[in-house]
Structure 1
Amino acid sequence: MTPVALSEDNPLQPLIAEVNGDPAQLQLRYENHRVARNNQQREKILADSFSGWSIDEILKRLDGPAKEDGFVDPRNCLVIWARPSPQVRDLIGFVQNELKSVAPSLWLMPLENLHITVLEAAHSLTEGEIEELVQTLRSSEDITASQIATYPLNHPTRLIKPMVSFDSAALALSFVPAAAECSKTEASTDSDYYTYHHLRRDIFDMVRQTKVPVASRYSVPSAHLTIARFINQNGFTVDGEDGVEKVDASSVKLFIDKIGEINQKLQTEYWPREGAIKEGGEWIVGQECLTIRRGRVWYGGGETVTLD
C-alpha cells in the first residue's frame, strides 16, 4: 500500500502532535471533551429558560406520528463508517430501552443502522455531486476504496469506557481511545499507541490522496454513535395556566436524571476494572473493515459503495 502522506492542514494531526502521540493524553482529551459537553448541556437543559427539545424537522417528516408519505431527504453525503460489534449493539439496545422507559416518544436509531463516522468526506450535496465524488474515489490509482476500507485490519484501534452523551437534539453512546487498559479480546494493549484519533487522521489523508476533497465538519476529540433523536415534544409538555403548552420541567429532569443513572451503571459495569472488561465495554474499530457509504445516510441509511 502507498504510505499515508500526512497533509500539513489535516485537522486531526495537531492534537496528536500536541500530546506527542501519548494514548493516555489522547484519552484524557476525549474524556474531558465529553464530560464538559454533558455538563454544559445538562445546565442548559435544566435551566428555567429551556424552551424544549431541538426537533429534527427532516426526521420528523420521515418517521413517527407526523410522517409524510413520499417525503425524501434532500441531503446526500459520502462518509466512511465503522459498524459496532454485536456486543456493542446489545449494550446500545439496553441503553435505548432504558431511555424509552422515561421518554416513550423518543426516536431510536435502529440497531442495524448503528455506526460511528470515522470520516465525513462530503455532506448535504445532490445525488449527482456525490456520484462525481464516488467516481473520483473509484478511479484513484494511488489509494483505492478497498485499501481505505481494509486499513483498520492492519491498524487496529480500541475504544473503551462507554457513556451516554447528549444535547437538546440527540443522544449518543460515546467512547474514548484505549491507553493500555486490559482487553476483553485478543487485541494487544501494546498497540494502543495507535489510537482511534490516529485512525481518523490517516483515513482523512487516504481519502485526500484519492483526489476526493474532504469537507469534514468534525475534528473534535469525539468517538460516538448516535442512538436517539427528538422528533416531537410528546411527554415533555404540560398545559400552562393560560392554556398554552409549556415545558414540563419535572419530566425533563427525570429524563436527564435517567441518563445519569445509565452512565453510572455503564461506568460501574462496563469500564475496565480489576483487570477485566465486560462484553460491550470494548470495541475494536473496523475489525470487519470500514464501510464507505453514499446517499441519504443521516439516519443510518444510504448505500454502500462497492469495492473494486
Structure 2
Amino acid sequence: MGLAQAIDDFIADAGDDLASIQNLCEAHRQKRNIDSRQKLLQHEFHGIQADQVLANLISDPEYVDIRNNLCVWARPTQALIELVDFIQGELQMIAPGLWIAPASWLHMTVVEIVHSQPDDVVKQTVIQLLQCLSALVNLVLEHPVVLGRPQLNYDDATVTMTFVPIGEREYTYLHLRRDIANICTEHGVEVGSRYFTTSSHITIVRFVDSAGLETRASRKAWVEKIEGLNSELREKYWRRNLGEGPSKAGQWMIGAERGLEVREGRLWYGGGETVQYGKAVSTDVP
C-alpha cells in the first residue's frame, strides 16, 4: 500500500474529524513511549543502538555515507529551535554519548519520496518531478496546517520532538502528507517513505555510543529525565488552539518563517542540497 492510501485510510478511520485525528495521533505517540520505557528498563536489555554510520562520519573525515534521499522538508521556527537547544543541553548532561543535531540541520521530513538509493536514482526522480516541485512546496499556501503539543519521544537510538495536529482547520498535517504523496504519484513517482502515517517529528539527538547509559539505573534516570521534560512541555507549551498559551513554541504553522523545501542527497542527518524552495506561510492566515 502506498503512503497516500495509508494516510487516507487513517483519515477515514478517524471519520475525517480533527478531534479524532488528533486523539489517534496522540495515542500512537504515547504508546511508543510506553513501549520504549519498557524496553529500556527491562533487565535483559541488549544495549543502546549506536548509529555506526554517524559515528564513522564523526571520526573519519574521508568516510562517505552512500545513502541518498529525496524528501520534502519543513524547517522549525526560531522559537522551536531555541526550545530544542534547551532540551538538547538537558539531555546531554545525562548521556554524554549523544550526537546533538545542529540548529541549521533541524528539520521535519514531511514526505520521504526516495530513500537509501544511489545518487543517479535520486537525480532521475528529481527530473520526473520537475513540473511539480513548486506545487509540492507551496501546497501549504493553499492549505495552512498547524502542529502543536510538543513532546519528546524516545527509543534505544534517538530522541525526537513530536507533534500532533492542533487548531481549528479540518485540513491537517496528515492531509498535507497525503496530498504531497498523491502529487508525486500523479507524476509517475511512487513515494517510498519509511515513516508511518502519523509521523511528525524532528530528530534532535542520536546515540553514537552508550556512554552514561550502560546500567539499568542510568537508563532509569534517562527515562525519568525525558518524562520530566515532557511534563514541563505539557505545562508550558500545550494548548488547544492557536493564540492560546504563553509561548510561540507551543504551536508550529508549517512553512512559517521558512517555506517547505525539496531536498536531495545525503539527508539522513540534515545535510544535502535544496532543489526547490517554497514561499513562507503567513502566520496571519485565518
TM-score by length of 1: 0.85
Residues 63-122 of structure 1 show CA distances to partners (whole Å, capped at 9, x for unaligned) of: 2xxx12200001001111111111111111111111011112211111111111110011
Counterpart secondary structure, 2:197: coil
Q: Which residue of 1 aligns with 2:178?
A: 201
Q: Which residue of 1 aligns with 2:262?
A: 292
Separation (CA, whole Å) in 2 of partners of 1:292 and 1:9: 18
When residues 27 and 235 of structure 1 are mapped into structure 2, their CA distance, relative to the original with a 3 A threshold, is: same
What is the CA-CA distance between 1:275 and the residue it aligns to?
4.1
Separation (CA, whole Å) in 2 of partners of 1:111 and 1:9: 30
Q: Which residue of 1 aligns with 2:56?
A: 61
Q: Which residue of 1 aligns with 2:137?
A: 149
Q: Which residue of 2 aligns with 1:185?
A: none
Query: Where does structure 2 lack aligned partners over 5 or more consecutive residues?
Result: 279-286
Contact map agreement 1:271 1:277 (CA 8 A) in 2: no
When residues 250 and 306 of structure 1 are mapped into structure 2, their CA distance, relative to the original with a 3 A threshold, is: same
Q: Which residue of 2 aligns with 1:92?
A: 84
What is the CA-CA distance between 1:9 and the residue it aligns to?
6.3
Aligned CA RMSD, in angstroms, stands at 1.8
Superposition pairs of residues 100-249 of structure 1, within 5 angstroms? 100-138=92-130, 140=131, 144-178=132-166, 180=167, 189=168, 192-237=169-214, 248-249=215-216
Counterpart secondary structure, 2:6: coil
Q: Which residue of 2 aligns with 1:44?
A: 39
Separation (CA, whole Å) in 1 of partners of 2:69 and 2:75: 17
Contact map agreement 1:87 1:280 (CA 8 A) in 2: yes
Contact map agreement 1:176 1:222 (CA 8 A) in 2: no
Query: Where does structure 1 lack aligned partners over 5 or more consecutive residues?
Result: 1-6, 181-188, 238-247
Aligned-residue identity in percent: 37
Residues 176-212 of structure 1 show CA distances to partners (whole Å, capped at 9, x for unaligned) of: 001x4xxxxxxxx3xx211111111111101112222
Counterpart secondary structure, 1:10: helix
Residues 248-271 of structure 1 show CA distances to partners (whole Å, capped at 9, x for unaligned) of: 121111111100110000001111
Instruction: For 1:81, give the aligned amino acid.
Output: W
Q: Hey, which of these two has a bigger chunk of helix by percent?
A: 2
Contact map agreement 1:10 1:204 (CA 8 A) in 2: no
Contact map agreement 2:151 2:161 (CA 8 A) in 1: yes
Q: Does 1:260 align with 2:227?
A: yes
Q: Which residue of 2 aligns with 1:244?
A: none
Contact map agreement 1:174 1:223 (CA 8 A) in 2: yes
Counterpart secondary structure, 1:232: coil
Residues 152-192 of structure 1 show CA distances to partners (whole Å, capped at 9, x for unaligned) of: 012111101000000001110001001x4xxxxxxxx3xx2
Q: Which residue of 2 aligns with 1:73?
A: 65
Counterpart secondary structure, 2:248: coil
Instruction: For 1:57, give the aligned amino acid.
Output: Q
Q: Could you list the structure 1 runs, at least 4 aligned residues long, displaced by more than 3 angstroms after superposition.
A: none
Separation (CA, whole Å) in 1 of partners of 2:197 and 2:143: 21
When residues 260 and 137 of structure 1 are mapped into structure 2, their CA distance, relative to the original with a 3 A threshold, is: same
Contact map agreement 1:33 1:222 (CA 8 A) in 2: no
Separation (CA, whole Å) in 2 of partners of 1:218 and 1:233: 25
Higher alpha-carbon Rg: 1
Number of equivalences: 274
Q: Which residue of 2 aligns with 1:241?
A: none
Separation (CA, whole Å) in 1 of partners of 2:197 and 2:277: 29
TM-score by length of 2: 0.91
Instruction: For 1:304, give the aligned amino acid.
Output: T
Separation (CA, whole Å) in 2 of partners of 1:126 and 1:278: 42
Separation (CA, whole Å) in 2 of partners of 1:25 and 1:231: 38
Contact map agreement 1:163 1:174 (CA 8 A) in 2: yes
When residues 275 and 86 of structure 1 are mapped into structure 2, their CA distance, relative to the original with a 3 A threshold, is: closer
Q: Does 1:24 align with 2:1?
A: no
Instruction: For 1:210, give the aligned amino acid.
Output: H
When residues 307 and 105 of structure 1 are mapped into structure 2, their CA distance, relative to the original with a 3 A threshold, is: closer
